[in-house]
Structure 1
Amino acid sequence: MKITKRLKEIVNIVDCGKKVIDIGTDHGLVPLYLAKTGKSCDILATDISKASLKKLEDELNDDLRKIIKTKVCDGFEGIDIKENQIAIIAGMGAVSIIEILKANIDKVRKLDYVICEGNIGNEKLREFLNNNNFYIDKDFLIKDGRKHYDIIRFKNGADRVLKLSEIYFGKFIYEEENPLLMPRLFKIEKKNLAFKKQIENNSINKEGLDLVEQRLRAIKEVKEYENKRSNRISK
């Protein structure tokens, strides 16, 4: 069974034998892959859309129905958390992910861990996790086609206070070298310098300028660290 690189990276960090809840499953590609590869034999696929779940249900044979159950619900509503269970929340904005987590935060804390892949605004998700006693144990950047994705795995438990640059670009950017990081940062920097100039020159209302400047400070932190690291290597 073929799946996208993005989804493959998500299932790669699911430990074998875990019970899985796939929140917002859409077409159900993650549950199908986990079941067909034998990585999980207890999967609950949920979606707020009955029509989306129907697409998955139509793919299930008798054997798969023993492994994959479906439920129309919003987030974790109506779900009882089991022992040895994890959740996956992927393919939506970080703000939507945060709303799902906040709505049933006690249930989230009972899970072994949660894997999130937000398609926008992941700094908001990291900040939420860091401020609400969740421990990020995996956090990495991938590229699938022309798009970049941040994949974050976390569990209940206090973490160290993250730097601004770590909030924006990943907890482990100073520990794990990723060749995708700096080219992406230069692209984001160029875009935000243009935003800043446009706001300063053309907008009476300076709303949004603080956010742009914060993002630029985060990029500056990373660049300063990289320059120091390069100097240490060259000596």
Structure 2
Amino acid sequence: MKLSERLQTIADEIRTGETMADIGTDHGFLPISLKQSGKCPGVILTDISRGSLDKAIRDCRLYGPEEEFDLRIGDGLSVLLPGEVDNIVIAGMGGILITEILSADPALSRSFGTYILQPRNNPGRLRFWLAENGYEIIREHIVREGRFLPVIMTVRPGETGGRHGRYEDAPELWDYPDSMLRDRNPYSREYLETERERQQRILDAISAGDGEDRVQEQKAVRRLRRIGDLLREMN
């Protein structure tokens, strides 16, 4: 089975011989591929939706008829035992939803060795939550999937959380962190340029309005300044 660039990058973050659980597995392509290739001796496919899990069941039968797969229906990490697998993948969900999954049972969440997280939106809010709750982002990847440039974070539970005030105090530092320079790849510049265009449209829309949304205007200006600084550092 050939994976998309996004799923292959996630697969590459898992070490050979380790186990994994795919939370919100949908079609189940990632765990099916990991099991078929022999990279993961054990995979768990979970989803809160019976319809999505049925899709995964069909794909397991289609692509791995000789393999045994562990499929579970349930909400987030609640279907797992503490430390049951080495790696947890949560991909394609909103960044805020990912924080809710991780915060539902803090002791359970911290019992797993590595997380590979791919937020569909709000990556900055996710980074802030991770820092506040003692999770360390080991590295980040930007990949291409169609017209989108998803961010993939490899994360491990650390010792303690930090005190970083509020996300709203400096959103530009969480949305566009220094790690974009540390972990830059061929997509990094395009990602930032796309974000610069998006933030400029937001600023233009605010300026064309009644001018009363000063807070959002200031945030857009700060984000644009931060993106510009990072782009200059990439030269």
Counterpart in 2 of 1:29?
A: 29
TM-score normalised by L of structure 2: 0.84
Structure 1 match to 2:191? 184
With over 3 angstroms needed to count, the CA separation of the structure-2 counterparts of 1:228 and 1:125, relative to structure 1, is closer
Change (3 A) 1:8 1:216: farther
Unmatched 5+ stretches in structure 2: none
Residue in structure 1 matched with residue 78 of structure 2 by the alignment = 77
Moved more, 190-199 or 21-30: 190-199
Counterparts of 2:66 and 2:177, CA distance in 1 = 39
Give the TM-score, by structure 1 length.
0.84
| Residue of 172, 197, 201 corresponding to 1:194 | 201
Tell me the equivalent position of 2:2: 2
Q: Which amino acid aligns with 2:32?
A: L
Q: What is the Cα-based RMSD across aligned positions, in Å?
A: 2.6
What runs of 5+ residues in structure 1 fail to find an aligned partner? 231-235
Of residues 23-32 and 215-224 in structure 1, the stretch that sits farther from structure 2 once superposed is 215-224
Matched, 1:223 2:228: yes
Which residue of the partner structure matches residue 50 of structure 2?
50
Counterpart residue type for residue 40 of structure 1 = C
State, as a whole percentage, how many aligned pairs show the same letter.
Answer: 23
The answer as to whether partners of 2:72 and 2:79 remain within 8 angstroms in 1 is: no
Helix, strand or coil: the match of 1:143?
Answer: coil
Judged with a 3 Å threshold, the aligned counterparts in structure 2 of structure 1 residues 82 and 213 are, in CA distance, closer, same or farther, namely same
Q: Corresponding residue for 1:111? A: 112
Q: Which residue of structure 1 lines up, in the alignment, with residue 66 of structure 2?
A: 63
Paired residue type of 2:140: D
Deviations 1:182-218 (A, max 9, x none): 2332232222222223223314762xx5356435424
Partner of 2:150: 149
AA at the equivalent of 2:207: E
Asked if the contact 1:114–1:154 (Cα under 8 Å) also holds between the matched residues in 2, the reply is yes
Figure out how many residues of one structure are paired with residues of the other and give that number.
226
User: Residues 215 and 46 (structure 1 numbering): CA distance in 2 closer, same or farther, change over 3 Å?
Assistant: farther
Higher mean alpha-carbon deviation, 137-146 vs 185-194, is at 185-194
> Given that residues 203 and 221 in structure 2 are in contact (C-alpha distance below 8 angstroms), is that contact kept between their aligned partners in structure 1?
no
